[in-house]
Amino acid sequence: MLEAISYGRQVALIFAFHCNHCHATPPAAAAGGLITATYAGVKASIVAGDAGKSPLMEYIDGRRAKRMPLDAPPLERTQIDTIAQWIKEGAREDEIPAQRLTAPLSPKPGRTFVVACRVPARAYLRLLVTTKAGAILHREESALPSGGEARWPVVAAAHWPRQATARVEVMFTTAAARLDVE
């Protein structure tokens, strides 16, 4: 399946399933300051056109500090080659299509609500709880390597407004997703 999508989207998929759990959001907590969940976050760690001089590749192959992903099996050779080829070709940003599912919320301070998203196939999910004006109140990400359900228990903070929205972005899947708020 990877052959059917561009190098940029293949790289985003590799990052989603192998890197984002440590290098995603919130940005202040991203390991080593590297954010692999966005193109802007990765851009600072690459030298477009030269994979050999890119700090990202040095971390992936262990030339700089410990090999990444840390405390996990190394990326497969084909995955490393895909990232290197993307960098050699200029490391262009590709739009990553996503299904966007939303549900209205009436959060009560201190109360927990659960956002659940079901996808019958492999997917990467991003939950955003926002105000009506779009300010982010809460953000989480999850990978579903073989499909299933992501569940996010969220505690409403005292400063949250009475009306909010739960939005789940479902990426890297061909299956339709379903959103529930409990």
Residues 51 and 118 occupy one common structural domain: no
Read off the tokens for 107.
């959060």
Question: What are the residues whose beta carbons fall under 8 Å from the beta carbon of 66, sequence distance 6 or more?
Answer: none
Q: What is the pLDDT of residues 141-160, one digit of tens each?
A: 888 888 899 999 999 999 99
Mean pLDDT across the stretch 129-134? 93
Pick from 19-33, 60-74, 112-126: least confident: 19-33
Q: Tell which of 36, 68, 88 closes a domain.
A: 88
Q: Does any domain span residue 56? A: yes
Q: What is the pLDDT of residue 28?
A: 57
Q: Does any domain span residue 77? A: yes
- DSSP H or E segment with residue 8: helix 7-18
Q: What is the pLDDT of residues 64-95, one digit of tens each?
A: 878 888 888 899 999 999 999 999 999 888 77
| Distance from C-alpha of 18 to C-alpha of 75, rounded to nearest angstrom | 8
Q: Is 139 exposed, middle or buried (0-12, 13-18, 19+ CB in 10 A)?
A: middle
Q: What is the pLDDT of residue 27?
A: 59
Structural domain harbouring 34: 2-88
CATH number of residue 141's parent domain? 2.60.120.260
104 band by pLDDT with thresholds 50, 70 and 90: very high
Q: Tell which of 39, 67, 88 closes a domain.
A: 88
Q: What is the pLDDT of residue 8?
A: 78
- DSSP H or E segment with residue 56: helix 55-61
Q: What is the pLDDT of residue 26?
A: 61
Residue 7 has pLDDT above 80, yes or no: no
Residues 114 and 165 occupy one common structural domain: yes
Residue 3 has pLDDT above 50, yes or no: no
What are the CA-CA distances from residue 90 to residues 4, 25, 50, 60, 86 (Å)? 19, 25, 8, 18, 7
Residues 37 and 75 occupy one common structural domain: yes
Residues 136 and 108 occupy one common structural domain: yes
- DSSP H or E segment with residue 144: strand 136-144
* CB 163, CB 129: distance < 8 Å: no
Read off the tokens for 25.
């959001």
Residues 26 and 58 occupy one common structural domain: yes
